[in-house]
Chain A
Amino acid sequence: MSDGPLLVVENLRKSFGDNEVLRGVSLSCEKAEVVCVIGPSGSGKSTLLHCINHLEAPDSGTIVVADQLIGYEPRRGHLVALKDRDTARQRRDIGMVFQRFNLFPHLTVLDNVTLAPRLARGVAKREADEIGMKMLASVGLSNRRDSFARELSGGQQQRVAIARALAMGPKLILFDEPTSALDPELVGEVLKVMRDLAEEGMTMVVVTHELQFAREVANTVVFMDDGVVVERGRPEEVLLNPKADRTRLFIARLVGDGKEK
């Protein structure tokens, strides 16, 4: 692998009907870097994440993860969409954690974690269970291996979802507002797990409204609004001394909300 950034997004555009959600977004993320993406809802942050692992196909622009062009291959001067199977293979290196957890409700906690390694990587059940238990231990939930998602709190469910993403041994994990659906008292346990991950050197792109987390954990903060990157930089620059008016307004509003709670 080259020494370049692990993730490079270049000039990404995506529309849903007449609504242009991404209007030329570029972004890069070094290995072991934590990039926090903040911005008002509807600014295209989630769509950006969905494009990175090709859950949404972009209209134009390119995404490269670990030197691999995602979702397309160059052929005779065009970029041709990959086969379903090849896209699935690429996704195995990119973990994803959803706002609403999206655990598989018909499976136990351990099976949630081991399903993808077994099906997508062909790991034997026994070995997968071992990896799974290790991942559950890392999020502090080894004792819930036989539970079902509905028996867990939101915070526990999200920690299982993180373990599920980790079990595939991803090079990069995308977090799509991982704490937005949680009761306030459960946010901390999830952020703690993410903090630990960052310290262990995991490369992470985190869409979040948790400014404190962004300030303390992120290496880079990106502020998006209306489908473009308005501002990017080190957390203390973007969060404490924002240059753009839009950034300043957004942060003031978010901090104001926080005080009311």
Chain B
Amino acid sequence: MGSGAPLKLVARRHPGYWISGVIVVALLGALVWGFARGNIDWGIVPHYIVSGVIIKGFEKTLLIAALAMILGLVLGTCFAVMRLSNNPVMSAVAWLYVWAFRGTPVLVQLLIWFNLPLVFPSIGIPGLFHVQTVQLITPFLAALLGLGINEGAYLTEIIRGGILSVDSGQTLAAKAHGLSSRQTLAKIILPQAMPAILPTIGNEAIGMLKMSSLAAVIGYMELLESAESIYYVNARVMELLFVASFWYLVATSVTSVGQYYLERHFGRSQVRRRSLADRVLRSLLSKNKARTKEALTSE
């Protein structure tokens, strides 16, 4: 202390980091080694990854997940608004919907939709039209209804939370300026609820991609059902489950990346200052050179 040259500051060493790191890597290596030497024919995995049946199944997985998610979003928005309505009947019905569909396993719901023909052999409006329910409720439709309506129940709660997170002063201001309730919701509340809702919706979309595999039990030929249909014949069970996992990982990874950009678009522009690039682009688009210069020099 005191006189002399100032002492150099050095970071503390952590030998524990190295030891625990080596142990974890060794365990991981053992796992990989085990699977590599195990009774699995890795050679055929790439072949099946690009095989026609699997690709077709993957497409159907993407299709059902996307459609069910859209159905869920529509239902979720409607029921969230109903849940917040002053009309006690509306609010109670929305509560009941969430209670019923969030409270039962989605697998059970899928089976119920698929077996609906047992309850109603034929449906229609008397005198107008009639259909055999068995022909109407295809595995596709049962999967769409089961997954979408179940998802809607979860999204109802998520969207309701987002709406409630918007400052109540916003509603006051909108109403005070003569906007109707509907305009207030569409133009003021929902746009501001988006940043709060989006991260969770991204998670739900990833969940939906995986949950769609449940549709295999009602015979919808999505990714898992396609993989199963192959290993029922050639008994390469693990190989084909890994093939399916590969495509699930691709889909969920791409969705995560999309979610990241969506969040950045909605979230950051709401809270933080616009980035330099964004400001320059905006002013370029508005063809105002003076402002561009200003944006560049003010940084």
CB contacts under 8 Å to A, within B164-212, are: 167, 169-170, 172-181, 183, 187-188, 191-192
- Inter-chain contact A84/B181, CB cutoff 8 Å: yes
**Which of B167, B170, B176 contacts A53, CB < 8 Å?**
B176
- Inter-chain CA distance A151–B175, complex, in Å, is 24
**How many of A's residues come within 8 Å of B, CB to CB?**
29
A104 partner residues in chain B, CB cutoff 8 A = 170, 173-174, 188, 192
Q: Confirm or deny: B273 has a beta carbon within 8 angstroms of a beta carbon on chain A.
A: yes
**Which of A100, A105, A165 contacts B177, CB < 8 Å?**
A165
Q: Confirm or deny: A38 has a beta carbon within 8 angstroms of a beta carbon on chain B.
A: no
- Inter-chain contact B192/A55, CB cutoff 8 Å: no
CB contacts under 8 Å to B, within A79-124, are: 84-85, 88-89, 91-92, 94-96, 98, 100, 102-106, 115-116, 119-121
Known A92-B178, A116-B178, A165-B177: A98·B183 in contact at CB below 8 Å: no
Known A55-B172, A102-B170: A91·B177 in contact at CB below 8 Å: yes
A112 to chain B, nearest CB (A): 9
- Inter-chain CA distance A102–B283, complex, in Å, is 27
B170 partner residues in chain A, CB cutoff 8 A = 102, 104
Please classify the interface of chain A as helix (H, G, I), strand (E, B), loop, or mixed, using the class held by over half of its residues.
Answer: mixed
Q: Confirm or deny: A232 has a beta carbon within 8 angstroms of a beta carbon on chain B.
A: no
B66 to chain A, nearest CB (A): 27
**Which of B169, B173, B183 contacts A119, CB < 8 Å?**
B183
- Inter-chain contact B191/A106, CB cutoff 8 Å: yes
- Inter-chain contact B172/A89, CB cutoff 8 Å: no
A/B pair count, beta carbons within 8 Å = 69
A120 partner residues in chain B, CB cutoff 8 A = 177-180, 183
- Inter-chain contact A102/B188, CB cutoff 8 Å: no
B176 partner residues in chain A, CB cutoff 8 A = 53, 55, 91, 94-96, 98
Please classify the interface of chain B as helix (H, G, I), strand (E, B), loop, or mixed, using the class held by over half of its residues.
Answer: helix
Chain A CB within 10 Å, residue with most, of B177, B183, B270? B177
- Inter-chain CA distance A7–B174, complex, in Å, is 22
**Which of A88, A105, A150 contacts B178, CB < 8 Å?**
A88
A119 partner residues in chain B, CB cutoff 8 A = 179, 183, 187
**Which of A95, A102, A105, A164 contacts B172, CB < 8 Å?**
A102
A91 partner residues in chain B, CB cutoff 8 A = 175-178
CB contacts under 8 Å to B, within A135-170, are: 146, 150-151, 164-165, 168
Known A102-B173, A104-B173: A151·B273 in contact at CB below 8 Å: yes
B167 partner residues in chain A, CB cutoff 8 A = 102
- Inter-chain contact B183/A105, CB cutoff 8 Å: no
How many B residues are at the interface, by size bracket? 20 to 34
Chain A CB within 10 Å, residue with most, of B178, B179, B188, B192? B178
CB contacts under 8 Å to A, within B260-283, are: 270-271, 273, 282
- Inter-chain contact A98/B172, CB cutoff 8 Å: yes
- Inter-chain contact B169/A100, CB cutoff 8 Å: yes
B270 partner residues in chain A, CB cutoff 8 A = 105-106
B179 partner residues in chain A, CB cutoff 8 A = 88, 115-116, 119-120
B278 to chain A, nearest CB (A): 12
- Inter-chain CA distance A85–B180, complex, in Å, is 6
- Inter-chain CA distance A146–B286, complex, in Å, is 10
B117 to chain A, nearest CB (A): 44
Chain B residue at smallest Cβ distance from A97: B176
- Inter-chain CA distance A120–B273, complex, in Å, is 30
- Inter-chain CA distance A119–B176, complex, in Å, is 13
Known A104-B188, A105-B270: A98·B169 in contact at CB below 8 Å: yes
Known A106-B191, A106-B270: A88·B175 in contact at CB below 8 Å: yes
B273 partner residues in chain A, CB cutoff 8 A = 150-151
A168 partner residues in chain B, CB cutoff 8 A = 177-178
- Inter-chain CA distance A121–B192, complex, in Å, is 23
B192 partner residues in chain A, CB cutoff 8 A = 104-106
- Inter-chain CA distance A85–B179, complex, in Å, is 9
List 15 contacting pairs A-B, 8 Å CB cutoff, sorted by A.
A55-B172, A55-B175, A85-B180, A88-B180, A91-B177, A98-B176, A100-B169, A104-B170, A106-B192, A106-B270, A115-B187, A116-B177, A120-B177, A146-B286, A150-B273
For the complex of A and B, 10 pairs with smallest distance between CB atoms: A92-B178, A116-B177, A102-B173, A120-B178, A96-B176, A102-B169, A91-B178, A106-B191, A88-B180, A119-B183
Q: Which A residues lie at the B interface, using CB under 8 A?
A: 53, 55, 84-85, 88-89, 91-92, 94-96, 98, 100, 102-106, 115-116, 119-121, 146, 150-151, 164-165, 168
Q: A84-B181, A120-B179 are in contact. List 6 more A-B contacts (CB 8 A).
A: A91-B175, A102-B169, A104-B188, A116-B178, A146-B282, A151-B273
